[in-house]
Amino acid sequence: MLRIGLVGAQFIGNLYMHALKQVQGAEVVAIASPNTAADFAARWGIAAHYKDYRSMIEDCPLDAVAIATPNDLHYDICLAAADAGKHVLCEKPLALSLDEASQMIAACERAGVVLMYAENLLFVPMYNRLRDLARKGNVGEPFLVKQAQCHGGPYSPWFWDVDRAGGGVLLDMGCHSIHAICWAMGDWPEAVTATLGRYAHAEKTLAEDHATVMLHFSGNRLGIAENSWAMPGGNDYLEVYGPKGRLTANLERGPAISMYRAPGDETALNASTRAGWQYPLYEEAWQFGFPQELQHFVEVVAGREELRSSGADGRRVLEIICAAYESARTGARVALPFASDREKPVDHWFS
């Protein structure tokens, strides 16, 4: 049984706990969070709770640490876990800078522990089926891959703070889109072009709330990542285009239940549910790949599977994002690899 210490008791922490019900060979034995650890432990039946992750790592018998915290804490927690010989599962983005990412990778390599970059889209069943169909030649050789993740705004206030988040929607959801596009294309891009803007939340954040990123691959192939905190109603899809056809997997629409809610009708649903057509997913955690991602982490630590999403992958995604911010500032196409010495990716846009 893989004994996991979870750091972070908000949205992702709760999602992990829900997903772990469908995972074999793993158990969260401790939770660390400065304000809500006790309540979280009581709600999920976790044996130990701590206000400080350092105390959890030092005092509790753990095999691995799962990092589900705001972005600015990833680096310190990863290094503390690696120094204690614990395997690490780290949420996106891997770090706030390329230097931090490199140090995290090096620390885990020195300690001989797994560093898995938690990219759930690589484990989404619909996306895996789409990728298989594309690789079997159903649409010919893909020349365009598009991925969009868009909604009306982030789930927690810390995302508005660029010092904590490191950027805006590009760093938040662009991590998902860029990695998914590269994974579906089976390649990493040679250059990047990006356009960013603040359209709906300029009073809340200095960072962008809408991003369009073009990934330029060899052979004139193209990836388009669209990410938004300024799109009420949302969007979440992966598309592959080839000379013989097109493949689309839409996580917003299926597999899902079709539901229509009349404006002003509060009888059947709670008041926070929006009016109009909605498509609630059943087994949502499974459809978004979280149990499969966590099961993969268990299997990798046990030596039964090869790591599909490494710390090096997470650093490469972060590098592309830094280049995208630079492109948005200069208006130019930016070649990869890209060197960055900034403390956070959005600094490339600000400067």
Predicted local distance difference test score (pLDDT) of residue 157 = 95
Residues 113 and 147 in one domain: no
- The two beta strands, 26-32 and 2-7, are parallel
* Segments forming the whole domain that contains residue 224: 122-301+311-335
347, part of any domain: no
How far does the chain reach from its first CA to its final CA, in angstroms? 48
The single residue listed with the structure tokens 């990716």 is: 345
What does the DSSP 8-state code read for residue 274? P
* pTM assigned to the model: 0.94
Residues in the chain: 351
Cβ of 252: how many Cβ atoms within 10 Å? 17
Mean pLDDT (10-residue bins), the chain, 351 residues: 97 96 97 97 98 98 98 98 98 98 98 98 97 96 97 94 98 98 98 98 97 98 98 91 96 79 61 68 87 98 98 98 98 98 98 80
Predicted local distance difference test score (pLDDT) of residue 273 = 57
Predicted local distance difference test score (pLDDT) of residue 265 = 54
59, part of any domain: yes
Cα three-residue angle 155-124-251, rounded to 5 degrees: 60
243, part of any domain: yes
Predicted local distance difference test score (pLDDT) of residue 256 = 72
Predicted local distance difference test score (pLDDT) of residue 269 = 44
Residues 39 and 55 in one domain: yes
Q: What is the CATH number of the domain that holds 22?
A: 3.40.50.720
Q: How many domains does the chain have?
A: 2
Give bridge partners of residue 145 from the DSSP assignment: 223, 240
Predicted local distance difference test score (pLDDT) of residue 270 = 46
Range list of H helices, the chain: 11-19, 37-44, 53-59, 74-83, 98-111, 125-135, 162-165, 169-172, 174-185, 284-287, 290-301, 311-330, 347-350
Predicted local distance difference test score (pLDDT) of residue 262 = 84
306, part of any domain: no
15, part of any domain: yes
Give the residue among 345, 284, 268 at the shortest CA–CA distance from 314: 345
Predicted local distance difference test score (pLDDT) of residue 272 = 46
Predicted local distance difference test score (pLDDT) of residue 152 = 93
Residues 106 and 134 in one domain: no
Residues 184 and 273 in one domain: yes
3-class secondary structure, 61:
coil
Q: DSSP string of 153-198? A: S-SSGGGG-HHHHSSSHHHHTHHHHHHHHHHHHTS--SEEEEEEE-
Residues 105 and 152 in one domain: no
The residue from 71, 91, 119 where one domain ends is: 119
